[in-house]
């Protein structure tokens, strides 16, 4: 079972905790009486809710960054019940069970809050799960299933968001094509061909700059959109990609000889909005084919 992409404990550890805690409750009731048992319940509840708050706040900074407001809302709700259980623990130690009579203001506040929490929390959790599932489906629709790079739809949407932002500046498009990919498929088989595609995708992912966009549009063609840089910066990035692919070997199952491949890169002129993406792709594609005709394993820039 997984939550936000992380494994969570299943029935065995939960059962062990439940049995241990139940045994401890019986032992405390038998040896120290009901006040100690209720105090133990309140104290353990406060600690449990504190751990939950810490986990939620940790999630805001790690696995649930896109749910910042929602996670803080849950943290606030759980913090309230944590504080109330801590106060209940102290009241039990100070005044025993008499301090928790139902006509006391504290008990009134405690049960009103618990009732409100029981009303608000379940639908909120259902909404959170549905939100996560919707986000996962949206992400799947925007990704190439083999390489996990952006597909055409995902790259277009990301580029549109970029150009809609205030900091947007002109971009350049790189069309990347694996040289002699059909020969690789015919010689080694499609599984090795898929491994080559994933290898190239990983090089793109680790070589492009943080804000750049990398995608696969099908076959052996990849696209990189370089944001906020000039022609020299784009050509430098293209050369880094070309050299990285050329110099890295791919291990082939059942063969003692690693596989090497190369790429040809076509670079478009700069463009300033997502509506001319197709024009930029045609420019880069034309430059790519000039590079193929000139011998492959090279970079070709579209004419100004």
Catalytic residues: 220
Question: Could you give the CA distance from residue 224 to residue 267 in angstroms, rounded to a whole number?
Answer: 9
Cβ atoms < 10 Å from Cβ of 12: 8
What is the H or E stretch that residue 175 is in?
strand 171-178
Could you tell me the CA-to-CA distances from 37 to 20, 87, 89 in Å, in that order? Answer: 14, 16, 10
How far apart (Å, rounded) are the C-alpha atoms in residues 52 and 125? 14
Q: String of b and e for 84-102 (b: at least 16 CB within 10 Å)?
A: bbbebbebbeeeeeebbee
Give the distance between the most distant pair of CA atoms in the chain.
91
Task: Enter the DSSP assignment of 259.
Answer: B
Residue 147 φ/ψ region, left for φ over 0, alpha for ψ in the -120 to 50 degree band, beta for the rest:
alpha
| Structural contact between residues 70 and 131, judged by C-beta atoms closer than 8 angstroms | yes
Between CA 123 and CA 129 the distance in angstroms is 10
Say if CB 283 and CB 269 are below 8 A apart. yes
Instruction: Report DSSP state, residue 302.
Output: P
DSSP 30-60: HHH-HHHHHHHHHHHHHHHHHHHHHHHHHHH
């Amino acid at each position: 079972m997984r939550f936000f992409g992380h494994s969570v404990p299943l029935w065995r550890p939960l059962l062990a905790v439940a049995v241990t805690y139940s045994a401890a409750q019986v032992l405390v009731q038998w040896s120290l009486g009901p006040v100690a048992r209720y105090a133990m319940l309140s104290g353990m509840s406060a600690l449990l809710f504190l751990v939950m708050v810490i986990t939620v706040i940790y999630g805001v900074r790690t696995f649930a960054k896109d749910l910042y407001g929602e996670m803080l809302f849950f943290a606030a709700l759980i913090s309230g019940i944590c504080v109330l259980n801590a106060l209940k623990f102290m009241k039990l130690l100070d005044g025993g069970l008499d301090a928790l009579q139902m006509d006391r203001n504290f008990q009134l506040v405690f049960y009103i809050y618990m009732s409100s929490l029981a009303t608000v929390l379940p639908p909120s959790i259902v909404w959170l799960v549905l939100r996560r599932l919707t986000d996962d489906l949206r992400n799947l629709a925007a990704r190439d299933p083999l390489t996990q790079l952006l597909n055409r739809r995902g790259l277009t949407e990301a580029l549109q968001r970029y150009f809609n932002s205030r900091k947007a500046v002109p971009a350049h498009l790189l069309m990347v094509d694996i040289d002699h990919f059909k020969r690789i498929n015919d010689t080694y088989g499609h599984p090795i061909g898929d491994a080559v595609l994933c290898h190239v995708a990983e090089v793109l992912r680790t070589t492009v700059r943080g804000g750049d966009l990398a995608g696969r549009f099908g076959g052996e063609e990849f696209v990189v959109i370089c944001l906020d840089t000039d022609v020299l910066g784009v050509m430098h990035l293209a050369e880094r990609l070309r050299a990285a692919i050329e110099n890295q070997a791919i291990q082939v199952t059942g063969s003692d000889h690693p596989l090497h491949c190369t790429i040809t890169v076509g670079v478009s002129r700069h463009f300033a909005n997502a509506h001319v993406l197709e024009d930029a792709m045609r420019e880069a594609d034309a430059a790519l084919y000039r590079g193929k005709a000139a011998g492959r394993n090279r970079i070709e820039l579209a004419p100004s």
